[in-house]
């Protein structure tokens, strides 16, 4: 049995909806257990015992969220050189483009020597005012479908040993 670890942080609900949709898609594949952990509770042991990863974060001030950064800070060195070559993907809920958060995750994953198996899935909410940025988010059904498809693809690849 393979394990797909999904670590997320969500301030206004958008990223959590994306992560939960991805987990639902992964659940359609047999032979893979999916663990959904909030970034505040995920530990290095969780990283070390997983076979693949999804890192899901909002983009805050053109960066990964603070709690997602905290997760990476706490887990980076304990996992360094122990998870080389494992697959990963990223989900980003952004108000504008999400590219900087994607680059940050890519740099961290490169240091961990993880292997990207999908382009970052960035969902743009177009929230640009303080009121819209802080408001609860509802992710469109078509975008949640993209998250579910990615989850099924990742779990399928793990189950078949493709990655």
Domain of 134, CATH number, reads 3.40.50.360
Predicted TM-score (pTM) of the model is 0.97
Tens-place pLDDT, residues 123-148: 999 999 999 999 999 999 999 999 99
The pLDDT of residue 153: 97
pLDDT reported for residue 83: 98
Q: What is the pLDDT of residue 102?
A: 98
Is there a contact between 15 and 57 (Cβ–Cβ < 8 Å)? yes
What is residue 81's predicted lDDT score, i.e. its pLDDT?
97
Instruction: Domain of residue 135: give its range.
Output: 2-160
What band does 154 get if pLDDT is binned at 50, 70 and 90?
very high
Residues 37-77: pLDDT tens digits? 999 999 999 999 999 999 999 999 999 999 999 999 999 99
What's the rounded Cα separation, in Å, for the pair 48 and 78?
9
Instruction: Tally the domains of the chain.
Output: 1
The pLDDT of residue 65: 97
Residue 14: which pLDDT band, with cuts at 50, 70 and 90?
very high
29/159 Cα distance (integer angstroms): 8
- What integer pLDDT is reported at residue 28 of this predicted model? 95
For CA atoms 113, 115, 99, 40, give the dihedral sign. negative
What is d(CA 7, CA 41) in angstroms, rounded to the nearest whole number?
A: 9
Give the model confidence (pLDDT) of 68-118 as tens digits.
999 999 999 999 999 999 999 999 999 989 999 999 999 999 999 999 999
């Amino acid at each position: 049995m393979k394990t797909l670890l999904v670590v997320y942080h969500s301030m206004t609900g958008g990223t959590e909806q994306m992560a939960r949709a991805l987990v639902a898609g992964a659940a359609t594949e047999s032979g893979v257990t999916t663990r959904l952990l909030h970034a505040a509770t995920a530990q290095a042991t969780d990283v070390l015992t997983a076979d693949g990863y999804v890192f899901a974060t909002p983009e805050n001030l053109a960066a990964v969220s603070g709690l997602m950064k905290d997760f990476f800070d706490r887990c980076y060195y304990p996992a360094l050189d122990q998870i080389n070559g494992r697959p990963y993907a990223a989900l980003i809920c952004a108000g504008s483009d999400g590219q900087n958060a994607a680059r940050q995750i890519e740099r961290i994953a490169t240091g961990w020597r993880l292997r990207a198996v999908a382009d970052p899935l960035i969902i743009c909410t177009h929230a640009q005012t303080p009121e819209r940025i802080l408001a609860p988010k509802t992710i469109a059904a078509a975008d949640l479908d993209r998250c579910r498809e990615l989850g099924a693809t990742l779990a399928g690849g793990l189950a078949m040993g493709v990655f």
